[in-house]
Amino acid sequence: MFGYVKPVVAELLVKEHELYRALYCGICRAMQRHTGRLSALALSYDSVFYALVRMMLTGDACTARRFHCAVHPCRCRQCVEETPTLAFTARAFALLAYGRVCDEQADRRGLVRLPLFFAARVLRRAARRAKLPVLQAEMEEELAALSVLEKACCPSLDRVADCSGRLLAAFFRAGLAGDERETAEAIGFHLGRFVAIADAAEDYEKDKRAGNYNPYLYIGDGSFDEEARRAAYEALCGELLAMENDILRLPHERYPSAGNLIKNILYLGLRERIAFLAPGGKGETPL
């Protein structure tokens, strides 16, 4: 999920951009408070999408205030004050960051594992402070299943994507009930599959050179040719379409600015992220 789920800022209204940044700052401060100052270094803007979905579903109202922080000492910034949604987002993302680092550490070889080792030590403590044992158990189960597929050089992209989908579904539904839980779970599942497919397509050349596992290396003759690129793009558009059906079930009238942010991410941000696969595109991976 890290690095994929962001809006196209140029298409946001000023008030929507301010809300987006204020939510990020609020999650950062909540993370420092609940899981430790160092854990906030692992925070990504993807967390804002997670907070927006939960905010829409739970009805948590948010208020912002101006404050100074160490990163921006010379200028006051808007920051959303802590709510149950922001606190849970902070704890969940500390746990998710720990799982990501552990997965990366298992996949890498040589000296590149050294910084991951130290990051894992910091985030292990943050994960304990998050106090989400059920969610952590679900995460570790899916990461273990993914590890088995990687070691077996599984040629099924769907099985790999399903692991990622189930993992994010667990994070999105955690702490919710009823229809809200069902909607959040569906959004998380399709987003997880989207991220897994996009990540495999984007990292194909890098993984091939490094000898890392990538499902595309074991599909057919292992080449990521034009046909494979088109199939990947169609699969990703299918996940976005499935996600759209669930996102439209959110109560957008409750928080119009939050709803517009979510739609921007869905219709513009995520599509921009996979433009390198689009038919007729330049075929360049994003920076």
- pLDDT tens sequence across 120-132: 888 999 999 999 9
State residue 235's pLDDT score: 96
Report the C-alpha gap between 232 and 214 in whole angstroms: 13
State residue 61's pLDDT score: 81
Q: Across all residues in the chain, what is the average pLDDT?
A: 90
- Asked, for residue 233, whether it belongs to a domain, the answer is yes
- Highest-confidence range of 2-11, 57-66, 105-114, 256-265, by mean pLDDT? 256-265
The pair phi, psi for residue 277, each rounded to 5°, is -100, -10
- Asked, for residue 1, whether it belongs to a domain, the answer is no
Domain count, the chain: 1
Residues 6 or more apart whose Cβ sits within 8 Å of residue 66: 76, 77, 78, 79
The CA-based angle 52-58-61, given to 5 degrees, is 70
282 vs 17 pLDDT, higher one? 17
- Asked, for residue 283, whether it belongs to a domain, the answer is no
H or E stretch covering 78: strand 77-80
State residue 210's pLDDT score: 86
Structure tokens at 264: 């921007």
Q: What is the pLDDT of residues 147-197, one digit of tens each?
A: 999 999 999 999 999 999 999 999 999 999 999 999 999 999 999 999 999
Range with lowest mean pLDDT among 23-32, 73-82, 147-156: 73-82
pTM: 0.92
State residue 87's pLDDT score: 96
284 pLDDT higher than 50 = no
Q: In which band, very low, low, confident or very high, does the pLDDT at 111 lie, cut at 50, 70 and 90?
A: low
User: What residues make up the domain containing 93?
Assistant: 9-277
- Asked, for residue 227, whether it belongs to a domain, the answer is yes
286 pLDDT higher than 50 = no
Q: What is the CATH number of the domain that holds 117?
A: 1.10.600.10
Q: What is the pLDDT of residues 226-269, one digit of tens each?
A: 999 999 999 999 999 999 999 999 998 889 999 999 999 999 99
Contact 224, 203 (CB under 8 A): no
- Asked, for residue 286, whether it belongs to a domain, the answer is no
Share of the chain above pLDDT 90, in %: 76
- Asked, for residue 4, whether it belongs to a domain, the answer is no
Report the C-alpha gap between 252 and 111 in whole angstroms: 48
- Asked, for residue 2, whether it belongs to a domain, the answer is no
State residue 280's pLDDT score: 73
- Asked, for residue 285, whether it belongs to a domain, the answer is no
